[in-house]
Amino acid sequence: MSIYIIRRLFLLVFVLTLLSIFSFSLGYLFPGDPLTNFTGQQDIPYYSVPELRQAYYLDSNIATQYIAYLTRILQGDFGISFSSGASVFEEIKRVFPATIELACYALLVSLFVGIILGSIAAMKNNSPIAKLINYIALVGQSLPIFWWALILIMFFSFQLGLFPISGRLSLLYPIQHQTGFLFVDIYLSDASYRTAALKDALRHIILPTAVLSMYPTTVMLRFTRESLLNVLDTPYIKTAKAKGMSQTQLMFRHGLRNSLLPVIKQIGLQFSTLLTMAMLTEFIFSWPGIGRWLVEAIYQRDYTAIQGGLLIVGCFIIIITVLIEIVHMILNPLARKDLYASR
């Protein structure tokens, strides 16, 4: 087991190194002076150029430059943004939690809804309800996220006036940024309008979550259904049935527990898709997360922001994927057996 983990970690380090080399080379690949691309300062006065070049080791060989780059990013120095002039790392710290928050809620919703609907579909296999659920899943999976979001906005915001269409919180409720996770920040804040802010934040999160959770819900649903159907077909379920267990007991004691293992693996696999979709969702709902931030950086040719943003998002996705794989391996005895067999 530990050997497996070490192997995974080696792979992780290797991929991260490749990613950082790519990000480093962007400094040279982007148009313009590498000094500007690395520091983010656009109008560097001529008298500070030599000093800066030295500080960034730009006159040394490429390996030294890369090491210097690594040292800088490990210290959180990604340069400053071209457009806003603020530290890129600080900006990412401000926007990234919003994305993670949104992705987490969507994931929770999709787990909850997907597993329930998936189980129903499997239990009542071939019944009209199961068919209906399957149809919905198929439609949901093929809905383009842009279109789906606009439909929801048209109906719930413009027609019914229930939910706002942009942002995480009305701008009239300034909540101090502490963790970046809005609900935690609201909980920690001592503002007099805390309850009102909480309600407002809830109203803001419903539509984006509904939009973003659509696709992963259908994935979870299909996987739960298939895996549960497989499990229900196994001899031990038949034995349990023969022993006179009720349908519910059967489901909760034997069925779900065994069928959810492949679903856990899906969480990891879906995470990168989820993050990509979160970026689209953010753009539609003006959600102040990293997706919208990156798209705007691209529009404004803000090279330092693109470079830093890509690196951090990339690293995050890789780390999460590897972590979930390890967790899956720990939880799933079958997979462990495979591992030993293949060794």
Partner 1 sequence: MSRTQWLFWASLWFSLTGCSFLSKDETHAQQGIIYCSEGSPESFNPQLATSGTVTAVSHQIYNRLLEQDPVTGVFIPSLATSWTVNDASTKYRFKLRHNVSFHQTDFFQPTRDFNADDVVFTFKRIIDIYHPYRFVNGGIYPYFQSIGFTHVVKSVQKVADDEVEFLLHTPDSSFLSTLSTDFAAILSEEYGAQLELVGKHESIDNQPIGTGPFQLTEFQYDSLIRFQAHKKYWQGPPSIDHLVFDITSHNASRLGKLITGECDLIAFPSAAELELINDRPEIRLEKNTTLNVSYWAFNTKKPPFDNPKVRQALALAVNRDSILQSVYFGHATLAKSILPPVSWAFDQSLKKPEFNLEKAAQLLKESDVHEGFEMDIWAIPVSRPYNPNATKMAELLQADLAQLGIKANIISMEWATFRKHLNAGEHDSVLIGWSADNADPDNFFRPLLSCTASYSGQNRAQWCDPDFDRLLQEALTTTDVARRIAMYHQLQQLLQHENPVTPIAHSLRYQATRTNVSGVEVNQFGGISFYRAKKVAL
If the CB atoms of residues 230 and 248 are measured against partner 1, the closer one turns out to be 248
Could you say whether residue 167 binds partner 1 (CB under 8 A)? yes
If the CB atoms of residues 29 and 196 are measured against partner 1, the closer one turns out to be 196
If the CB atoms of residues 195 and 239 are measured against partner 1, the closer one turns out to be 195
Letters for 91-120 (x = contact with partner 1 by CB under 8 A, - = none) are: -------------------------x--xx
Could you say whether residue 161 binds partner 1 (CB under 8 A)? yes
If the CB atoms of residues 69 and 285 are measured against partner 1, the closer one turns out to be 285
Q: Which of 71, 127, 247, 273 binds partner 1 (CB under 8 A)?
A: 247
Beta bridge pairs of residue 100 = none
Could you say whether residue 83 binds partner 1 (CB under 8 A)? yes
Could you say whether residue 173 binds partner 1 (CB under 8 A)? yes
Q: Which stretch binds partner 1 (CB under 8 A): 158-166, 211-219, 224-232, 265-273?
A: 158-166
Closest CB 253 distance from partner 1, rounded Å? 13
Could you say whether residue 152 binds partner 1 (CB under 8 A)? no
Nearest 5 degrees, angle CA 282-CA 285-CA 289?
Answer: 30
Could you say whether residue 195 binds partner 1 (CB under 8 A)? yes
Determine which helix (DSSP H) or strand (DSSP E) holds 305, and give its type and residue range: helix 303-331
CA distance 193 to 179: 19
Could you say whether residue 174 binds partner 1 (CB under 8 A)? yes
Query: Which token pair is 246?
Result: 């009720």
Closest CB 312 distance from partner 1, rounded Å? 19
The b/e string for 218-237 (b: 16+ C-beta within 10 A; e otherwise) is bbbbbbbbbbbbebbeeeeb
CA distance 173 to 183: 13
Could you say whether residue 289 binds partner 1 (CB under 8 A)? no
Could you say whether residue 40 binds partner 1 (CB under 8 A)? no
If the CB atoms of residues 53 and 241 are measured against partner 1, the closer one turns out to be 241
Which amino acid is it at 140? G
Residue 321 · residue 271 · CB < 8 Å = yes
Q: Which of 1, 6, 86, 138 binds partner 1 (CB under 8 A)?
A: 86
Q: What is the DSSP string of 190-212?
A: --TTHHHHHHHHHHHHHHHHHHH
Query: Which token pair is 152?
Result: 């929801």
Distances in Å between the Cα of 51 and the Cα atoms of 46, 76, 86 are 10, 21, 21
Closest CB 289 distance from partner 1, rounded Å? 12
Residue 219 · residue 270 · CB < 8 Å = yes
Could you say whether residue 166 binds partner 1 (CB under 8 A)? yes
Distances in Å between the Cα of 240 and the Cα atoms of 12, 91, 119, 235, 255 are 43, 56, 18, 9, 10
Which spans of this chain sit near partner 1 (rule: CB under 8 A)? 83-86, 116, 119-120, 123, 153, 157-158, 161-167, 170-174, 192-193, 195-196, 199-200, 202-203, 206, 247-248, 286, 288, 296
